[in-house]
Amino acid sequence: MKKLLAALIALSVFGGSSIAFADGVYRWVDDKGRTVYSDMPPPPDAKKVEQRLMRSSQIEADKQPYAVRKAAEAFPVSLYTAPGDKCPGCPLAKQYLAKRGIPYTEVSIENSQLAVDALKVLGGQDVEVPSLVVGGRPDKGYSASDWDAALDSAGYPPAKR
């Protein structure tokens, strides 16, 4: 008898069950005025029916390490660039940030209005590209040592060797 019971439990747990899992949770008010929550759809006479879709139960891991995520949250990085031959140092700057694993927003200064907006952030009389802004602190021109100091002080981990 115990073997039969164990086999039935195993079959129900591991077997090809046809149990359909709910896509969400329903909330409604029944005919007596009670609020009901269920994974089953409400009866046709239910009032104030709401369906809340459930998010996936899978944990999605961020690809960035924790230290990088925390630093990026507190001190976001923006890279000011210009297209093509107007910025010969831009590819090197992008390569530097990629090697160091820094998430950044690229701001391409393609016209004079964007340059005026960049001056407000970068300060000074003219826009020098590439420029890095770490949490509001601008560093004009590409300098690995200056950029390292700015990123280190913001809490970004050093480059992997």
Same domain, 27 and 80: no
Same domain, 27 and 98: no
Same domain, 115 and 149: yes
Please tell me the total count of domains within the chain.
2
**Number of residues assigned to the chain:** 161
Q: Which has more pLDDT, 135 or 10?
A: 135
Q: Is the pLDDT of residue 31 over 70?
A: yes
* Helix (H), strand (E), coil (C) string for the chain: CHHHHHHHHHHHHHCCCCCCCCCEEEEEECCCCCEEEECCCCCCCCEEEEEEECCCCCCCCCCCCHHHHHHHHHCCEEEEECCHHHCCCHHHHHHHHHHHCCCCEEEECCCHHHHHHHHHHHCCCCCCCCEEEECCEEEECCCHHHHHHHHHHCCCCCCCC
Judge whether 103 and 85 are in contact, CB under 8 Å. Answer: no
The whole-number pLDDT of residue 22 equals 47
Last residue of a domain, one of 54, 76, 93: 54
Note the pLDDT tens digit of each residue in 107-158. 888 776 766 677 677 776 677 889 899 998 888 889 999 999 999 999 999 8
The mean predicted confidence, pLDDT, of the chain is 79
Note the pLDDT tens digit of each residue in 54-106. 655 555 556 788 899 999 999 999 998 888 888 899 999 999 999 999 999 89
Note the pLDDT tens digit of each residue in 56-65. 555 555 678 8
Same domain, 86 and 47: no
- Rounded to 5 degrees, φ, ψ at 51 are -120, 125
Judge whether 101 and 113 are in contact, CB under 8 Å. Answer: no
44/127 Cα distance (integer angstroms)? 66
Same domain, 78 and 106: yes
Which residues form the domain of 30?
Answer: 23-54
Same domain, 70 and 48: no
